[in-house]
Structure 1
Amino acid sequence: MASEITYAEVRFKNGSKSSGTTSDSAAAPKERTTPRRSNPGFPRLLCASLLTLLLLLAVSFCLAFIVFFQKCSQLLEEKNTTKEPIHTTLECVKKNLTVAEKVWSCCPKNWKLFSSKCYFISTESKSWNESQKNCSRMEAHLLVINTKEEQDFITQNLNKSFAYFVGLSDPEGQRHWQWVDQTPYNKSVTFWHPNEPNNPNERCVMLNFHYSSWGWNDAGCDLPQMSVCEMTTISL
Structure 2
Amino acid sequence: MASEITYAEVRFKNELKSSGTNSDSPAAPKENTTPLKSNPAFPKLLLGSLLILFLLLAILFFVAFIIFFNKYSQLLEEKNYKISTKTSIHTNLKCVRNNSTMEGKVWTCCPEKWKSFSSSCYFFSTDAKSWNDSQENCSRMEAHLVVINNKEEQDFLTQNMDKNAAYFMGLSDPEGEGRWQWVDQTPYNQSATFWHPGEPSHSEEHCVIVNHPSTSLQWGWNNILCKDRQRSVCEMMKIYL
Into which bin does the TM-score normalised by the smaller protein fall? 0.5 to 0.7
SS at match of 2:99: coil
Gaps of 5+ in 1: 1-79
Work out whether 1:190 is the aligned partner of 2:156: no
Q: CA RMSD in A?
A: 1.8
Aligned-partner Cα distance in 1 for 2:196–2:143: 27
Is 2:97 the counterpart of 1:94? Answer: yes
Is 1:116 the equivalent of 2:119? yes
In the alignment, the residues of structure 2 paired with residue 97 and residue 169 of structure 1 have an alpha-carbon distance, to the nearest angstrom, of 34
Aligned with 2:219 (options 214, 222, 233): 214
Residues 1-236 of structure 1 aligned to structure 2 (within 5 Å): 84-97=87-100, 100-210=103-213, 211-236=216-241
For residues 101 and 139 of structure 2, the distance between their equivalents in structure 1, rounded to whole angstroms, comes to 33
Provide the C-alpha distance between the structure 2 equivalents of 1:101 and 1:82, rounded to a whole number of angstroms. Answer: 18
TM-score, length basis structure 1: 0.64
Mapped partners of 1:99, 1:113: distance in 2: 18
Partners of 1:200 and 1:222 lie apart in 2 by 15
Once residues 99 and 185 of structure 1 are traced to their aligned partners in structure 2, the CA distance between those partners, rounded to angstroms, is 29
C-alpha contact (below 8 Å) 2:119/2:237 kept by paired residues: yes
In structure 1, what is the Cα distance between the partners aligned to 2:151 and 2:165?
Answer: 20
Contact 2:85/2:91 (CA < 8 Å) preserved in 1?
Answer: no
Aligned length: 157
Distance change >3 Å, CA 100–CA 194, structure 1 → 2: closer
Superposed displacement of residue 101, structure 1: 2.8
Q: AA paired with 1:213?
A: Q
Output the TM-score relative to the length of structure 2. Answer: 0.63
Counterparts of 1:99 and 1:168, CA distance in 2: 31
Mapped to 1, the partners of 2:222 and 2:189 lie a distance apart of 16
Q: Cα offset for 1:84?
A: 3.3
